[in-house]
């Protein structure tokens, strides 16, 4: 039985569940049936509610034959310590995701073992002082709700061990909107440390990862965080705690108990943090790779085109070189054939048959080379994973349509789409499932884009999980197309193994110009990207439109 304190859709919970299942699946000597419970205590509190949960679990698992209970965080441990005898008094338990201080403050009875956690922000603070010596002040951001208080130990320890030359400003008494407003106005001698925020000072509740995304989107200074699953949300990273590593260590400890190892030899073990950074955030704040600590992990690194497609580029270059050589040979052969034809007029009929046969073979070779050239040209325009047009073809065709728009005073629109939470999907199910998801999304978008707007419009994969459409249509037509695309993706029913992932959606940005407006294609794409960003910032799975007309620009 796996007991989580909060709801199922938290990235922390999803990553932990997947990591535990991975360890259990690898235990081929055991047949394990996993029951998972989500107490939702960050949204529903009270002794009565917790007692009702305990009564439900006692009734539900009375005859289920539960051999072990996995507890995540201090909240789950306290719930179990107070109600273990009522629910499953004889089942051993393994806890994890709990700092050593909270373990020492509790009386852990026999039969309960665990993995300790060490979230140490002071290590990241020492590094940032060496890397950015101009930093004078740290702005500390964390929540103040009941759920936040269960994770307050790392914050308290950070306050006690803060380097002496740094000033500390605690923003926990502010609402998230107030924090965002102040973060946007910070100067370069400050940095933000973000812990967790389930509930802000105004009582508004959040998923901690969503609160971080909102803050990172507006912050003028770098944001340090302490958990690896926050990488990719806008934080530069730091000395982070690995949810995946801690969950797997707890699952491994559980397997030892299930295999019958004597409980007295099972000790509380400590897990180690690592420096992990986000490449895009480092670039945004001008922090070079040379400033990172040794053996740091950098995620989301942008790989140069040559490195990413080296073998393909070499193959294309070799193909073109071969074509040039063959073409030169054919030109030389054609010249020789001209002379040969003049000489063949003087030859007898037998030599004429030979000449005809040679001409036929040369013609077949020429046709073969022309077909190969057409295939190479087609492949250079298509995306290798999804089969739709690639960004290179999109840029080329988009420039042609823009020139026609500028010359003929015609409307033109660009639609950008980004698959929501694709990284979480990729992390949860693996890159192969992620590729399959992109293929299904591309197929759904292509059927709508081509069927709705005609052959002159271009639909392409723009990069990663992003797709684009350039269409000869006005703002209203583009908005209608964007909505059709969004609905088509939302209707997808993607299967993964024995489960279904039904929450695939896209955020959409639309930018349009009418016949008389003077907006470049680059500006039009940038406006569509801004509109896409607003869709993501406003909750995702929605369409945001920007339109430019001859007299007034509208956003």
Q: Which of 145, 155, 143, 141 lies closest to 101, judged by CA?
A: 155
Q: Which of 53, 54, 104, 46 lies closest to 74, judged by CA?
A: 104
DSSP 528-543: HHHHHHHHHHTTSSSE
Per-residue H/E/C for 388-423: CECHHHHHHHHHHHHHHHHHHCCCEEEEEEEECCHH
| Angstrom distance (rounded) from CA 100 to CA 437 | 41
| Angstrom distance (rounded) from CA 404 to CA 515 | 10
User: Residue 67 is inside which H or E element, if any?
Assistant: none
- Enumerate residues 6+ apart whose C-beta is below 8 A from 254: 68, 70, 94
Strands (E), 118-249: 137-141, 167-170, 190-194, 223-225, 237-240
CA dihedral defined by 169, 170, 171, 172, rounded to 10 degrees?
180
Q: What's the residue count for the chain?
A: 555
Give the angle subtended at the CA of 458 by the CAs of 457 and 464, to the nearest 5°.
Answer: 150
Query: Which residues are identified as catalytic?
Result: 465
Q: Which tokens hold the place of 395?
A: 């840029």
Cα distances (angstroms) measured from residue 332 to each of 135, 336, 357, 367 = 71, 6, 18, 17
- Other beta carbons within 10 angstroms of residue 466's beta carbon come to 18
| Angstrom distance (rounded) from CA 147 to CA 203 | 12
CA dihedral defined by 398, 400, 402, 406, rounded to 10 degrees?
180
- Enumerate residues 6+ apart whose C-beta is below 8 A from 47: none
The number of CA neighbours under 13 Å toward the Cβ of 412 is 30
User: Residue 23 is inside which H or E element, if any?
Assistant: helix 11-25
């Amino acid at each position: 039985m796996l007991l989580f304190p909060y709801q199922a859709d938290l990235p922390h919970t999803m990553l932990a569940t997947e990591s535990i299942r991975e360890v259990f699946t690898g235990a081929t000597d055991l047949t394990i049936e996993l029951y998972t419970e989500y107490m939702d205590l960050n949204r529903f509190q009270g002794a009565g509610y917790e007692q009702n949960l305990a009564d439900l679990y006692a009734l539900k698992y009375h005859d289920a034959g539960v051999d072990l209970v996995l507890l995540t965080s201090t909240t789950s441990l306290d719930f179990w310590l107070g109600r273990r005898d009522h629910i499953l008094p004889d089942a051993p338990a393994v806890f994890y995701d709990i700092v050593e201080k909270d373990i020492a403050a509790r009386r852990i009875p026999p039969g309960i073992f665990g993995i300790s956690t060490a979230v140490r922000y002071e290590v990241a603070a020492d590094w940032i002082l060496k890397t950015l010596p101009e930093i004078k002040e740290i702005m500390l951001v964390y929540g103040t709700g009941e759920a936040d208080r269960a994770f307050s130990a790392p914050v308290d320890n950070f306050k006690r061990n803060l380097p002496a030359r740094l000033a500390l400003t605690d923003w926990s008494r502010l609402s998230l909107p107030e924090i965002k407003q102040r973060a946007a106005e910070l100067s370069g001698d400050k940095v933000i440390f973000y812990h967790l925020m389930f509930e802000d000072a105004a009582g508004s509740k959040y998923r901690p990862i969503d609160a971080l995304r909102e803050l990172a989107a507006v912050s003028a200074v770098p944001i340090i965080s302490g958990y690896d699953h926050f990488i990719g949300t806008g934080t530069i990273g730091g000395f982070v705690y690995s949810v995946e590593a801690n969950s797997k260590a707890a699952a491994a400890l559980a397997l030892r108990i299930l295999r019958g190892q004597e409980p007295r030899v099972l000790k509380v073990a400590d897990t180690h943090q690592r420096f992990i950074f986000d490449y895009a955030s480092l670039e945004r704040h001008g922090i070079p790779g040379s400033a990172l600590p040794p053996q740091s992990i950098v995620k989301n690194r942008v790989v140069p085109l040559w490195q990413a497609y080296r073998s393909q580029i070499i193959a294309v270059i070799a193909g073109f070189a071969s074509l040039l050589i063959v073409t030169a040979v054919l030109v030389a052969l054609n010249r020789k054939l001209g002379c040969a034809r003049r000489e063949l007029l003087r030859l007898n009929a037998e030599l004429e048959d030979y000449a005809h046969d040679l001409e036929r073979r040369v013609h077949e070779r020429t046709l073969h080379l022309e077909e190969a050239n057409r295939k190479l040209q087609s492949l250079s325009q298509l995306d290798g994973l999804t089969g739709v047009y690639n960004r290179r073809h999109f840029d080329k065709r988009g420039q042609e349509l823009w020139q026609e728009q500028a010359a003929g005073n015609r409307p033109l629109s660009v639609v950008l789409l980004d698959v929501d939470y694709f990284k979480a999907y990729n992390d949860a199910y693996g890159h192969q499932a992620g590729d399959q998801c992109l293929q299904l999304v591309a197929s759904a978008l292509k059927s709508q884009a081509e069927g709705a707007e005609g052959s002159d419009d271009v639909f392409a994969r723009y990069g990663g999980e992003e797709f684009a459409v350039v269409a000869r249509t006005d703002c209203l037509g583009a908005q209608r197309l964007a909505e059709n695309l969004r609905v088509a993706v939302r209707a997808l029913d993607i299967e993964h193994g024995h489960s279904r992932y039904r929450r695939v959606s896209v955020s959409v940005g639309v930018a349009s110009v009418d016949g008389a407006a003077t907006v470049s294609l680059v500006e039009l794409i940038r406006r569509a990207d801004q509109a896409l960003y607003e869709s993501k910032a406003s909750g995702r799975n929605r369409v945001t439109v920007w339109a430019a007309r001859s007299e007034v620009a509208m956003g």
